[in-house]
């Protein structure tokens, strides 16, 4: 599946028409997670569908979801912009960026530097770079290019093998362990536990995917994650904000 997604990306990149340059007030993802409102940083995801789960949220109103996330003070938001496989859109990201005052991560499969410029112009504060998709030197080039343009990167890996290769080249400031194997789609939060000892002390560790319960949250925090990236658990329920509070074991009262 990953191979197919990447093939599609290379085709899409050929057809990119860059939007007009616009001015956005960039926010730091690193700082937001580092100075989290909670015991562990939270990136809340806005995602309608995925190749592994199909449609996750039928009634999908991205700005409404973003407002709901704002109400419960998430530290950052992740917006899927891939259209074909995740039913996302860069327009969703732009709309959300204009509405919220937390950093917005563009969740897509970056394979070409044109997509970085596109991310700048649609208002992203950060982009995702996937270790399983890019060669380490290429990833590092994209990383530097993004930072030069005022964007930050979440560098994601699933396996130790890929992490090791990347760390030979550089140490990303924000490092994500994706608990989901992008080839098989199976998730296990133990992936975070397994890789945590190899994460450089200067990198902020984000545990991504497959976090559903308060216990999962406590577990990854116990392993040493400094932040979590959660999508499905919030998207499945009518009010994503309620699910945020539930995940953190916070009391939900009707007035709030």
- Binding residues for ligand IGP, rule: CB under 6 A, are 45, 47, 107, 156, 178, 208-211, 229-233
**Shortest Cβ 211–ligand IGP spacing (Å):** 6
**Shortest Cβ 77–ligand IGP spacing (Å):** 12
Torsion angle (degrees, nearest 10) of CA 221, 105, 58, 183 = -70
Closest residue to ligand IGP, based on beta-carbon distance: 231
Residue with smaller CB distance to ligand IGP, 100 or 217: 217
**Shortest Cβ 158–ligand IGP spacing (Å):** 9
The CA-atom distances, in angstroms, between 179 and each of 93, 133, 185, 192 are 24, 16, 9, 7
Residue with smaller CB distance to ligand IGP, 125 or 208: 208
Q: Please give the Cα distance from 75 to 152 (Å, whole number).
A: 15
**Shortest Cβ 74–ligand IGP spacing (Å):** 13
Residue with smaller CB distance to ligand IGP, 52 or 64: 52
**Shortest Cβ 129–ligand IGP spacing (Å):** 10
Q: Which residue has the tokens 């982009």?
A: 127
Residue with smaller CB distance to ligand IGP, 22 or 188: 188
Residue with smaller CB distance to ligand IGP, 68 or 208: 208
**Shortest Cβ 210–ligand IGP spacing (Å):** 5
Residue with smaller CB distance to ligand IGP, 45 or 68: 45
Q: Please give the Cα distance from 149 to 86 (Å, whole number).
A: 26
């Amino acid at each position: 599946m990953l191979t197919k997604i990447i093939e599609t990306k290379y085709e899409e990149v050929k057809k990119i028409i860059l939007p007009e340059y616009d001015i956005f007030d960039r926010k730091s993802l690193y700082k937001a997670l580092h100075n989290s409102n909670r015991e562990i940083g939270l990136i809340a995801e806005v995602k309608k569908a995925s190749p592994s789960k199909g449609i996750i949220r039928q009634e999908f109103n991205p700005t409404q979801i973003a407002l709901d996330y704002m109400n419960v003070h998430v530290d950052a938001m992740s917006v899927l912009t891939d259209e074909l496989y995740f039913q996302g859109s860069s327009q969703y990201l732009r709309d959300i960026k204009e509405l919220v005052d937390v950093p917005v991560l563009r969740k897509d499969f970056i394979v070409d530097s044109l997509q970085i410029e596109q991310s700048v112009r649609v208002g992203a504060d950060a982009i995702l770079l996937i270790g399983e998709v890019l060669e380490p030197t290429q990833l590092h080039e994209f990383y530097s290019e993004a930072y030069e343009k005022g964007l930050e990167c979440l560098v994601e890996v699933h396996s130790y093998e890929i992490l090791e290769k990347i760390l030979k080249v550089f140490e990303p400031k924000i490092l994500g362990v994706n608990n989901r194997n992008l080839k098989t789609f199976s998730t296990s939060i133990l992936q975070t536990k397994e890789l945590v000892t190899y994460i450089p002390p200067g990198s902020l560790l984000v545990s991504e995917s497959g976090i559903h319960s308060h216990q999962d949250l406590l577990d990854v925090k116990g392993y040493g994650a400094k932040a979590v990236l959660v999508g499905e658990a919030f998207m499945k329920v009518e009010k994503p904000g309620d699910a945020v509070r539930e995940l953190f074991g916070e009391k939900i009262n009707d007035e709030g």
